[in-house]
């Protein structure tokens, strides 16, 4: 059976709105030990803010903590629908060097899939194959290559 993003995505996402300021977002990231917050209006995804966005577009540009999230928001965000396969999402993330991918249906945020979600799934899928392959590689090495 082909796994889709819906099977592995996180649905309990911490979100914020453009009513929030960058200090509040920084506190939210610290409290939840996260570096990525989807910005929504209702359920509609309007962008994301990363910890890097806070630093580079916020504090490094001498914005105060009371600056609106809108000032540091990334609006051009790659998203996927929950029906995309895990493999296709992994390829999209690798090609675009993305660690977290919002899952959206009709513009509404449904969840987020992260590299960690993919890694956990891949461990289960590939565990037996990887174990066998490393065992057979080890058995087929020349004794001199081991020293």
Structural domains in the chain (count) = 1
- pLDDT of the residue at 121: 56
- Specify whether the CB–CB gap between 32 and 8 falls below 8 A: no
Q: The whole model's pTM is what?
A: 0.78
**Ranges under pLDDT 70 in the chain:** 120-147
| Alpha carbons 55 and 63: distance in angstroms, whole number | 10
Torsion of CA 52, 53, 54, 56, to 10 degrees: 80
Q: Which structural domain, as residue segments, surrounds residue 85? A: 5-146
Q: Which CATH number do you get for residue 65?
A: 3.10.580.10
The residue behind tokens 């899928």 is 125
Q: What is the pLDDT of residues 30-45, one digit of tens each?
A: 999 999 999 999 999 9
**What's the rounded Cα separation, in Å, for the pair 77 and 46?**
9
- The tokens describing 114, both together, are 């992260």
Q: Give the pLDDT confidence score for residue 131 in this predicted structure.
A: 43
């Amino acid at each position: 059976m082909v796994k889709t993003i819906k099977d592995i995505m996180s649905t309990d996402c911490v979100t914020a709105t453009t009513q929030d300021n960058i200090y509040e977002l920084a506190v939210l990231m610290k409290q939840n030990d996260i570096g990525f917050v989807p910005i929504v209006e209702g359920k509609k995804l309007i962008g994301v803010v990363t910890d890097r966005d806070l630093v580079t577009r916020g504090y490094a540009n001498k914005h105060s903590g009371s600056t609106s999230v809108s000032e540091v928001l990334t609006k051009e965000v790659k998203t996927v629908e929950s029906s995309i396969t895990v493999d296709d999402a992994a390829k999209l993330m690798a090609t675009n060097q993305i660690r977290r991918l919002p899952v959206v249906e009709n513009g509404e945020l449904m969840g987020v899939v992260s590299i960690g979600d993919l890694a956990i799934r891949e461990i289960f899928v590939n565990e037996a194959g990887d174990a066998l392959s490393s065992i057979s590689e080890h058995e087929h090495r020349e004794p001199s290559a081991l020293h």
